[in-house]
Structure 1
Amino acid sequence: MTAGAVETDTGFDRRLLAPMMIGSILNPINSSIIAIALVPIAVALGAPASQTAWLVSGLYLATAVGQPVMGRLIDVHGPRRLYLVGALCTVAAGILGVVAPDLWVLVIARVLLGIGTCAAYPASMYLIRMEGDRTGTASPAGVLTALSVTTQTIAVIGPTLGGLLIGLGGWRATFAVNIPLGVAILVLGLLFLPRTVPASGGQGTGSDWVGVALFTAMVLSLLVFLMHLSLDRMWLPVLAVGVGTAFVLWERRRTHPFIDVAVFVGNRPLVVTYVRAVLAATVSYSYLYGYTQWLQETRELSATAAGLVLLPTFVVGIVVSVTTGRRPQIRRKLLVGAVAQMAAAALILSTWTDAPVWYLVLTAAVTGVPQGLINLAVQNTLYHQADPGRMGASSGLLRTFMYSGAMLASAASGAFFGARATTAGVHELALFMLVVAAVLAVLTVVDRSLRAVDAAAQS
């Protein structure tokens, strides 16, 4: 079954866990670690905020497009080859970031990093489904919990890790860390990932490059608009709708489409899950980027101090994920998580310029509760709702929707902050977060399909 793996009849192959978890860490860590490095990079390279924003957007654009593409290729060809290619790209991106002479080479490094870190998460979800089928375990709760911790909950440690790395070796250390990690996942992938190809044999289903191109154009048009919201760019969402229509028409005519749109039309609960992912990510990344920027620019904390203030978010998120991961009540996790997001937004809305450290730590700790609950619940919901034969593509699309939420958060931060992250601006951002979290709560309450997911999770 696998290269060097231990196959059992009743249990998940534990030797798959290391490449799954370590590989899946890289994308969320790199998506958040840059939050604390933007100011030092801007100072070092003399770049304005409008240009350093591309360090964030470059990775998101590459990931939003690359995740479902990688996921579909994994569905067709199996996880091993795509995982290894991603590891090599990650190492190359780390090296390029270390030697980059200017900002735009750094942006290229971030784009390459986004591409390189795309494969691990859909590969992991594919492997979980494969092992679940082999062992007859309908809901491997422990493995899904571990994956949730490594893919999203751990993302919150990015600013803390970034602050420590910057303190030790400067901002280039936030790129250099990808070199040993990339080598590690390359070795683990070579040792343990399956060599087998899915039953489709890779015939036909991986050659829909017209569909990939149309999907890419649609996503890029929409996300670039979200990055720079303005009336003179209204042609971008119009273009996205036009290209999206062409994409749907093309895919419906294909025997082996890149994304089987008919599956999503007939799977409304899965579509609602993607919408929930957008809402939850919008709140989460508004905190990670907007609140972090306020801590540095108005509260005047150093990069290292700001990272340490955010550490309770990571700690609480991990504890919540681990303690609730094996409990099957997905709907309850979503509801409690949405309410906790509203509570965190209320704390930020009530903050003040010279708020004491204990208040900042309290805000970070409360924010960790939804970080540990919602991401786990959304991932588990997808596991039960997605077509098993398209688990890689469906998982990749989940990331696309999540990073759409991150783009919305970035656009909101830019609109409310302007040139500087003021206290008045962070209050406006918090009000925005409060409204989005309330919408998430309402959407969860009215979604009756979650009862079926809870029943499946308990089986």
Structure 2
Amino acid sequence: MISTGLVAIGYDFGVGAAGTAWLVSVLYLASAVAQPVLGRLADGVGPRRVFLGGLLVVVASGLVGALAPGFGWLLVSRLLLGIGTSAAYPAAMAVLRAESARLGRPTPRPVLGRLSFAALGSAAVGPTLGGLLTATAGWRGIFAVNVPVALLAYGSALRWIPKDAPGKERAGRGSAAGVGRERAEGGGRAGALDPLGILLFTGALSCLLVFLLDLRHPMWWLLAPALLLAAVLTRWQLRHPSPFIDLRMLGANHALARTYLRHGLSYLVVYCVMYGFTQWLEEERGYSSLHTGLVMLPMSLAALACSLIGARTKGIRAPLTVAAVLLAVGSALLLGTTGATPLVVLLLAGACFGIPQGLMGTGNQAAVQQYAPADAIGAAAGLQRTAQYLGAITASGLIGLAYGQRADDRGLHLMAAVGGALALALIVMTVTDRALRTRITRTADAGTDTAGTTANTGTDTTGSTAHTGAERHNSHDRHRS
């Protein structure tokens, strides 16, 4: 919703496009940190408790934003919103993994598709609803509407989400999933927090964020503390028994690490369009907030429909390849777009960015389900969203560099050129990723990845023995190489 209210907020508080970009960035900064933290809590104390607590924070964010007397209070509201909403996705993935363990079968792809459909459904309604609220109730309505929505979600969660299992039972499921050896070797513990790791990650990311948001006048000195904090973070994560970001697991689990990289780069391109294109439509094209929301609606509906289509595919590489190709086509269309471009071309360009959202959402989500350690699915899902939000933060910096104080054709073309280059890189990354060539399914009770084999044998058809956790994936990647 905020994408169609940025211009109105900027006018009311005398803030330019580079300044209002902070409303986007502060939410994603909070989310990038909170997603893996709340995912780990969901693994440890239970996803239902974490989800309900997050909704209460969302209610607080709506009240703060609706009553904000100044621009700073809007930043506080978005910060709270980023923390509160971060509970949803990792909690949902943890619930699905728990059900898989209880039923003794993997989570069906259509179920993952419906989860993606829910997220993209809200995104489909968001720009249009935001434009309607801004045009009728003012931009404060964008913040106020989160209160009844969060309360409705809270009541629904109390009614339908299964109560959290006792801690010992959740630990038992993790052992049954074949991760006992992995945790014994890595020393990790589901639900355990790493406060110092969280602070180091937040500090490094904050320095990088401030640097990215003013690329027109870069503060190069910020790179020094960012690199220093990143180095200290890396050393600490490698030594800590329950690290905030499990670098050893990512170093061994190449397929999961590539999934994060692919997801982050994809959404860097998408967020440039979601926020940069809407501002261009209002300031260069002269559309109202409501008209901008309507122009963005086909993009959102395409994302919504393709999330269901992607859920019905059996592989991962094909839909991800199609998504990357469409991102390149959409970027090419925007590269030639001006204030006089026909509306049909703008709608077509929007669809080229909407379809990939649905395909990427279900494809990468399925990859995380397959490759993540069984007893840490919440934290792994949180890291997937962290990668997505790092892409959003970078997109905010690019928007600030391209537009400055006003969105124009030249800035749009700069973003389109960067998006096209990244899309081509994504095509190469996806096509050459050998881990995506074989359809892999994980049995919930054994936690074993099989490529056309039965779960009880634990043996890959190529002859390599399946290992558990990170060691298994490392061996799998070495064998394919």
TM-score of the aligned structures, taking structure 1 as reference length: 0.88
The partner residue of 1:134 within 82, 94, 102 is: 102
User: Measured at CA, do residues 215 and 328 of structure 1 come closer, stay the same or move farther in structure 2, by a change above 3 Å?
Assistant: same
Counterpart-to-counterpart distance in 1, 2:333 and 2:190: 53
Which deviates the most, 45-54 or 182-191? Answer: 45-54
Partner residue in 2 for 1:165: 133
Superposed displacement of residue 34, structure 1: 1.1
Q: Which deviates the most, 324-333 or 187-196?
A: 187-196
* Equivalent-residue separation in structure 1 for 2:15 and 2:151 (angstroms): 31
Q: Return the match for 2:283 from 294, 297, 317.
A: 297
**Which whole-Å CA distance do the structure 2 matches of 1:119 and 1:61 have between them?**
15
Q: Does 1:325 align with 2:296?
A: no
Q: Distance in 2 between matches of 1:231 and 1:302?
A: 31
- Moved >6 Å (runs of 4+): 201-204
Task: Please state how far the C-alpha of 1:237 moved relative to its aligned partner.
Answer: 3.4
What is the aligned partner in structure 2 of residue 68 from structure 1? 36
Q: Is the 8 A contact 2:21 2:400 kept in 1?
A: no
Native 8 Å contact 1:123 1:392 kept in 2:
yes
In the alignment, the residues of structure 2 paired with residue 232 and residue 425 of structure 1 have an alpha-carbon distance, to the nearest angstrom, of 18
Amino acid corresponding to residue 213 of structure 1 in structure 2 = L
Who is 1:195 aligned against?
164
Determine helix, strand or coil for the equivalent of 1:138: coil
More displaced stretch, 46-55 vs 283-292: 46-55
Contact 1:89 1:112 in 2 (8 A): yes
1:117-167 residue CA offsets vs partner (Å, 9 max, x unmatched): 110110001111111122222241111001112224642542222101212
Change (3 A) 1:380 1:256: same
Match of 2:58 among 76, 90, 95: 90
Cα deviation code 1:320-379 (max 9, x no counterpart): 221231211210001111001111111111222122222222222222221221122111
The Cα offsets for residues 208-249 of structure 1, whole Å up to 9 and x where unpaired, read as 222222222232223332223367533333323322232232
User: Given the superposition, is the C-alpha separation of residues 95 and 441 from structure 1 closer, same or farther in structure 2, using an over 3 Å criterion?
Assistant: same
Q: How many residues align?
A: 427
How has the CA–CA distance of structure 1 residues 204 and 49 changed in structure 2, closer, same or farther, with 3 Å as cutoff? closer
Q: Is the 8 A contact 2:134 2:141 kept in 1?
A: yes
C-alpha change, 1:224 and 1:392, in structure 2 (3 Å) is: farther
Query: Does the alignment pair 1:256 with 2:224?
Result: no
Is the 2:16–2:406 contact (alpha carbons within 8 Å) kept by the matching residues of 1? no
Contact 2:212 2:398 (8 Å CA) reproduced: no
Map residues 58-457 of structure 1 onto 2, 5 A cutoff.
58-152=26-120, 154-193=122-161, 194-198=163-167, 199-200=170-171, 205-229=191-215, 232-454=218-440
Native 8 Å contact 2:271 2:395 kept in 1: yes
Q: Show CA shifts across 1:5-61 (max 9, x none).
A: xxxxxxxxxxxxxxxxxxxxxxxxxxxx21110111122233333432221122111
| Structure 1 residues not aligned, in runs of 5+ | 1-32
Counterpart-to-counterpart distance in 1, 2:365 and 2:276:
25
Q: Over residues 146-203 of structure 1, what are the superposed CA-to-partner deviations in whole Å (9 max), with x where a residue is unaligned? A: 1112224642542222101212311111001100111112222333332324434998
Contact in 2 for aligned 1:65/1:216 (Cα 8 Å): yes
Please report how far the alpha carbon of residue 458 of structure 1 lies from its aligned counterpart in structure 2 after TM superposition: 8.7
CA separation of 1:317 and 1:48: change in aligned 2, threshold 3 A: closer
- Assess if the C-alpha contact under 8 Å between 1:156 and 1:314 holds in 2: yes
Q: 1:232 to 1:75 in 2, by over 3 A?
A: same
Distance 1:452 1:239 in 2: 42
Q: Provide the C-alpha distance between the structure 2 equivalents of 1:156 and 1:285, rounded to a whole number of angstroms.
A: 14
Aligned partner of residue 395 in structure 1, secondary structure: helix
| AA aligned opposite 1:313 | M
Alignment partners' CA distance in 1, 2:80 and 2:7: 22
Letter paired with 1:106 = L
One-letter amino acid of the structure 2 residue matched with residue 371 of structure 1: Q
Determine if contact 2:17/2:400 at 8 Å carries over to the other structure. no
Cα distance in 2, alignment partners of residues 458 and 140 from structure 1 = 16
Unaligned runs of at least 5 residues, structure 2:
173-187, 443-449, 453-481
Summarize deviations over 1:293-325 as a string: whole Å, max 9, x none.
111111110010011011001111222221231
Q: Is the 8 A contact 1:223 1:404 kept in 2?
A: no
Distance in 2, matches of 1:156 and 1:96, equals 25
Whether the 8 Å contact between 2:189 and 2:242 is mirrored in structure 1 is no
Counterpart position of 1:11? none
Which amino acid in the other structure matches residue 43 of structure 1?
A: Y
449 and 237 in structure 1: CA distance in 2 versus 1, 3 angstrom threshold: farther
Q: Is the 8 A contact 2:215 2:400 kept in 1?
A: no
Provide the TM-score with structure 2 as the length reference: 0.84
AA matched with 2:366: N
1:389 counterpart letter in structure 2: D
Aligned 8 A contact 1:76 1:197 in 2: no
Matches of 2:119 and 2:204, distance apart in 1 = 26
What displacement does 1:205 show? 4.9
Task: Mark the structure with the bigger radius of gyration.
Answer: 2
In structure 2, the partner of 1:15 is none
Structure 1 vs Structure 2: percent identity of aligned residues? 41
Aligned partners of 2:211 and 2:218 also within 8 Å: no
Q: Distance in 2 between matches of 1:397 and 1:126?
A: 13
Relative to structure 2, which stretch is displaced further, 161-170 or 198-207? 198-207
Q: Distance in 1 between matches of 2:436 and 2:128?
A: 35
- How far apart are the structure 2 equivalents of 1:177 and 1:345? 33
Shift of residue 438, structure 1, vs aligned partner: 0.5
Q: Is the CA contact 1:330–1:454 (under 8 Å) kept in the aligned structure 2?
A: no
Say whether the 8 Å CA contact 1:153–1:371 is kept in structure 2: no
Mapped to 1, the partners of 2:241 and 2:414 lie a distance apart of 48
Bigger mean CA deviation after superposition, 254-263 or 268-277: 254-263
Change (3 A) 1:390 1:231: farther
